[in-house]
């Protein structure tokens, strides 16, 4: 999940002048794992059926679907959004004891 989110962020911010990537991974109280990423992008996005899709010429757009499926497999959630030229990836997974 982290690799996919980070790869998307690196590719996306290369298209923007600001080139910002902020990645936070936190295990809160040993009960919840959070993966939060914010990255700059050129503001161009594509959505289909409520999901973000790749804007790369040869991209298939399954990366975020894969992150979502993995989070859900472990009882968690993944959410993606954007505001202006910032893209947000938020993943939360419960840590079983």
What is the reported pLDDT for 88?
A: 97
Asked if residues 51 and 40 have their Cβ atoms less than 8 Å apart, the reply is no
The model's pLDDT over 2-55, given as tens digits with 9 standing for 90+, comes to: 999 999 999 999 888 889 999 999 998 889 999 999 999 999 888 888 888 887
CATH class of residue range 2-94:
alpha beta
| Phi, psi (deg, nearest 5) at residue 25 | -125, 125
Domain ranges of the chain: 2-94
The model's pLDDT over 69-79, given as tens digits with 9 standing for 90+, comes to: 999 999 999 99
CA distances from 54 to 8, 9, 24, 33 (A): 9, 12, 23, 26
User: What is the reported pTM?
Assistant: 0.89
The model's pLDDT over 40-93, given as tens digits with 9 standing for 90+, comes to: 999 988 888 888 888 777 766 678 999 999 999 999 999 999 999 999 999 999
Bridging pattern class, strands 32-40 and 77-83? unpaired
């Amino acid at each position: 999940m982290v690799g996919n989110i980070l790869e998307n962020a690196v590719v996306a911010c290369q298209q923007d002048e600001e080139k910002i990537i902020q990645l936070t991974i936190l295990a809160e109280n040993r009960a919840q794992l959070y993966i939060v990423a914010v990255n700059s992008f050129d503001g161009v996005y594509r959505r289909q059926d409520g999901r973000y899709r790749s804007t790369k010429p040869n991209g298939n757009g399954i990366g975020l679907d894969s992150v979502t499926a993995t989070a859900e497999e472990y009882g968690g959630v993944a959410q993606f959004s954007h505001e202006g030229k910032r893209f947000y990836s938020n993943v939360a997974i419960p840590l079983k004891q």
